[in-house]
Structure 1
Amino acid sequence: MTIDEKLMTGIRNREKQALSDLYDRYHRIIWNIARQSETDCSVCEQLVTHVFRAVWAKPQDFIQNRKLLMLLIDCCRSRSAATIKKN
């Protein structure tokens, strides 16, 4: 079992430490993805927060045959695109 699989199992079991560990593992990458489309740091923070809230709310959406990181990036980019359309 990979680290990501262990973390997602923990999140499915509602273990807050697993979410914290996932955040520590990927938040910088997600931040950098957000910065590619947003210059406002507060918007980037909101995007990062959205991604990890989405993981906590619906972990099943992040357990697929694709790498977890790619799913996190997709979540960030889709939310970013929706934010840009609003403005």
Structure 2
Amino acid sequence: MDSSLVADDASLLTRIAKHDQTALSQLYDRYAKIIYAVAFKSLRSVEESEEVVLDVFAQVWRIADRYDAVKGRADTWLFVLARSRILDRLRKLQRSQLSSPVSTKLSEIQTQYQSVDPIQEVLICERRDRVLSALKLLPSEQRLVIELAYYQGLTHSQIAAQTEMSLGTVKTRIRLGLNKLKSALDAGV
């Protein structure tokens, strides 16, 4: 991303923190479509995706003063907020539709942005690919509970209710699956 846009995003957030509605409008115009696209990729719902966009910018309006340019870029901060809202929506949908779960993969939730350091971005992608490859090696019952816990954000109790397994079975399968994942990753999968 152009460094002038990065600086401009930060200045817009500074103005939003002072309740400048024009700055919020400019930030919305710049990022609403991409946040919508990221949300839609995970949620597969126009209404839910639109709600995510509205939630993100309402949150920006409320907490823009918490943005710290030293800790990261403004667009990254926005995408973290968006990811959090998407996961909230997925959990809500999961609770309301336990009989028909929303399918989500980590790769669909990850936001795409240009990293300041391309080498770091490549390393992150390689690590993600290694984890996804290692997940494929797990028995399906262990992979299922790990995906529900870590990709959809369900609690152990929610997983037990959804899969009709006992809570102890869910915990055991997660523990065994995580141990096998660690072994596979240590072995260089």
TM norm structure 2: 0.43
Give the drift of 1:72: 1.1
Write the mapping of 1:15-34 to structure 2, written as runs, cut at 5 A. 15-34=20-39
| 8 Å Cα contact 2:24-2:61 kept in structure 1 | yes
Aligned equivalent of 1:83, options 70, 89, 106: 89
Paired position in structure 1 for 2:75: 69
Q: Which runs of 5+ in 1 are unaligned?
A: none
Query: What is the aligned-residue identity percentage?
Result: 31
Paired position in structure 2 for 1:39: 44
Aligned equivalent of 2:55, options 45, 50, 59: 50
- Aligned counterparts of 1:53 and 1:36: Cα–Cα separation in 2: 21
Bigger relative CO (Cα 8 Å, ≥ 6 apart): 1
Give the drift of 1:63: 2.9
| 8 Å Cα contact 1:8-1:63 kept in structure 2 | no
Shifted more, 10-19 versus 55-64: the winner is 55-64
Q: Which runs of 5+ in 2 are unaligned?
A: 94-189
Deviation beyond 2 Å, 4+ runs, structure 1: 60-64
Larger helix proportion of the pair: 1
Higher alpha-carbon Rg: 2
Aligned equivalent of 1:9, options 3, 8, 14: 14
SS at match of 2:26: helix
RMSD: 1.5
One-letter amino acid of the structure 2 residue matched with residue 72 of structure 1? L
| 8 Å Cα contact 2:35-2:53 kept in structure 1 | yes
| 8 Å Cα contact 2:14-2:65 kept in structure 1 | no
- Aligned counterparts of 1:61 and 1:80: Cα–Cα separation in 2: 20
Shifted more, 69-78 versus 39-48: the winner is 69-78
Give the drift of 1:60: 2.4
